[in-house]
Structure 1
Amino acid sequence: MYTNTRFGELMKGIPRGMFERLVKKHQADKYSKGFRCWDQFATMLYGQMTGSQSLRELELSFNSHEGHHYHLGTRAVRRSTLADANNKRDVALYESLCQQLLQRARGQVKSQVTNMLYLLDSTPVPLKGLGYDDWAANGHRTPGLKVHMILEANQYVPTYAGITPSNINDIDDARQMEIESGATYVFDKGYYDYNWWHRINEEEALFVTRAKHNAALNLVNSLSIEGCADHILSDEAVRFKYRRPGGGRINQYRAALRRVIVHREDHDTPLVLLTNDFVRTAEEIAALYKQRWQIELFFKWLKQNLKIKRFLGRSENAVKTQIYIAIIAYVLLWLYRKAEGTGRSLTDCARLLASAAFQRPRSEYSIWKRRQQQREELLALQGNLI
């Protein structure tokens, strides 16, 4: 009886029908000449999981498992064909696929978690040199791209991803994001826009962020910090002082805010937090902002375990394709780990797939179990003869 390989189980996270509908929508297979989008996706996903350093290495490694290609619905690949596909096949297909997969992960989290906690941040992808300078030099101090993400902190899975030039501010991308009622958003000073905060508040969502030192705020009243830990210095209700902060802008945020000031042992100045949450305690607000560090660790994990630092092509389309497939690989790995149910860490699952992508664990376990039974029967028979 046929059983899936580990890589086959991983790819089950992408329903083939959904993939083909997206291919048809973007007309991505129009000029495929036999090398379809599914072939490109399977090969690039394999390259992500095995850490392939070059197209030559990916070609040799993937084609060495030609016997498994049939069950994946794919075929052997030539590196020149793959390079052409990465350079010319519109990245919009993989962007759409990534967003649909992130929405699926978000739905799974919502079915298990009542208080959704979203962490917002971005990470730079530096690109400099021959081939990159033609399109990545945008006047920013770090030429290249920027990956914007929302991470659900309870389940440690992204629910939004966007790629922009590195000179695009975080808040510019955040304005395009959907706000979920009842959720809590935690972000740093890169998302400093009072009108965007107003939108979050109007959508009946919560936010926690850092205040800038020059924020003009009027004290409404002081809240009690009795019973709070020593690191909570103050808890206050405040309002913005000016309706027109300057530059012709109008501040739409007229509701009260909460200002929590927190002592930091490793800094000379305290941490000043602003939030529209008047229900949680001051300690809980401080703890929420501390969790923002998780998204920094997430970016670190992504860069250490997947391929978003060294690229198999130098065109803008090839680089973005590889980044989106890296994010897809992470979510598929997250789904694989949940389905496996062994309690392995995400890192262990990634290492296992890297070293044994085309092993069939169920078949191997069945063989081991049958041999154990035969050994026990033989020992029992020997015992009876004695």
Structure 2
Amino acid sequence: MLHFVPRHSFQKLVDQYQGDKHTRSLTCWNQFVALLVGQLTGANSLRRLIEQLDVHSQRHYHLGLQSVRKSTLADANHKRPTAAYYGLFFHLLSRLSKQKGLAEVAGQVQLIDSTTISLCQSQYQWASFRQQQSGIKIHLLYDPNAQTPIYFEMTPGRVSDSRAITQLSVFKGVTYVFDRAYNGGQWLERLVDNGCLLAE
């Protein structure tokens, strides 16, 4: 799977956002590979992720991966800038768009929705959500024909769905499907003004 991620492009993004600044052991590439392994193996905790890495330690060299400690990975996840990974998403999306012809948007159906991820309040106080709980929302624009997300935004859990998509680019002739959480007047007016089609 790492063959789909151009290492030089990834490093360019890391350098741009100074992701490896003051890093002594765990580089952003090592962090990325570790998290990818965790995602693919269904690890539900950092401890489980490290166990998966240790089981396959003989393959670390071929992945360009060094030894990863749980505490170091936890610190990296907490402190590292996320902008490099955000940039990687859109870089990979642009490559997919060229291969699949996703630029031809007229007549397409695109789905808009959000999901909330609960977080530990003591560690993520900035992500205000409920009285005794922190959380973030991921707001997603999904293309069902290409079977891929084509836009996303992360916000604190309390941010309303309609407010989070104010920066979303919309295109004439596209049918946007969403639920009533997005029924804000300005948002609907922008869709109509741009010749979009609406489905609730």
- On whether the aligned pair clears a TM of 0.5, the verdict is yes
Answer whether contact 2:121 2:133 (CA < 8 A) is retained.
Answer: no
Tell me if 1:98 matches 2:118. no
What is the CA–CA distance in structure 2 between the aligned matches of 1:86 and 1:166, rounded to whole Å? 19
Tell me if 1:123 matches 2:112. no
Tell me if 1:209 matches 2:199. yes
Tell me which of 186, 191, 194 is aligned to 1:200: 191
Structure 2 alignment gaps of length 5 or more: none
* 1:314-333 aligned within 5 A: none
- Per the alignment, residue 263 of structure 1 pairs with none
What is the Cα deviation at residue 12 of structure 1? 1.5
Tell me which of 149, 152, 162 is aligned to 1:161: 152
Tell me if 1:73 matches 2:41. no
- Per the alignment, residue 174 of structure 1 pairs with 165
Q: Percent identity?
A: 36
CA 1:119/1:169 → structure 2, altered by over 3 Å: closer, same or farther? Answer: same
Answer whether contact 2:102 2:146 (CA < 8 A) is retained.
Answer: no
- Per the alignment, residue 135 of structure 1 pairs with 126
Structure 1 alignment gaps of length 5 or more: 1-9, 211-386
- Per the alignment, residue 51 of structure 2 pairs with 60
What is the Cα deviation at residue 180 of structure 1? 2.6
State the TM-score, normalized to the length of structure 1: 0.47
CA 1:209/1:182 → structure 2, altered by over 3 Å: closer, same or farther? Answer: closer
What is the Cα deviation at residue 207 of structure 1? 2.2
Tell me if 1:43 matches 2:39. no
What's the CA shift string for 1:150-197, capped at 9, x where partnerless? 111223211111111111111111111111333221122222233333
Answer whether contact 1:128 1:136 (CA < 8 A) is retained.
Answer: no
What is the Cα deviation at residue 138 of structure 1? 4.1
- Per the alignment, residue 332 of structure 1 pairs with none
- Per the alignment, residue 261 of structure 1 pairs with none
- Per the alignment, residue 242 of structure 1 pairs with none
Question: Partner of 1:135: helix, strand, or coil?
Answer: coil
Question: Partner of 1:86: helix, strand, or coil?
Answer: helix
What is the Cα deviation at residue 39 of structure 1? 0.6
- Per the alignment, residue 362 of structure 1 pairs with none
Answer whether contact 1:144 1:165 (CA < 8 A) is retained.
Answer: yes
The one-letter code of the counterpart of 1:126 is: S
What is the CA–CA distance in structure 1 between the aligned matches of 2:84 and 2:46, rounded to whole Å? 21
What is the Cα deviation at residue 21 of structure 1? 0.9
State the TM-score, normalized to the length of structure 2: 0.85
What is the CA–CA distance in structure 2 between the aligned matches of 1:200 and 1:41, rounded to whole Å? 36
What is the Cα deviation at residue 17 of structure 1? 1.5
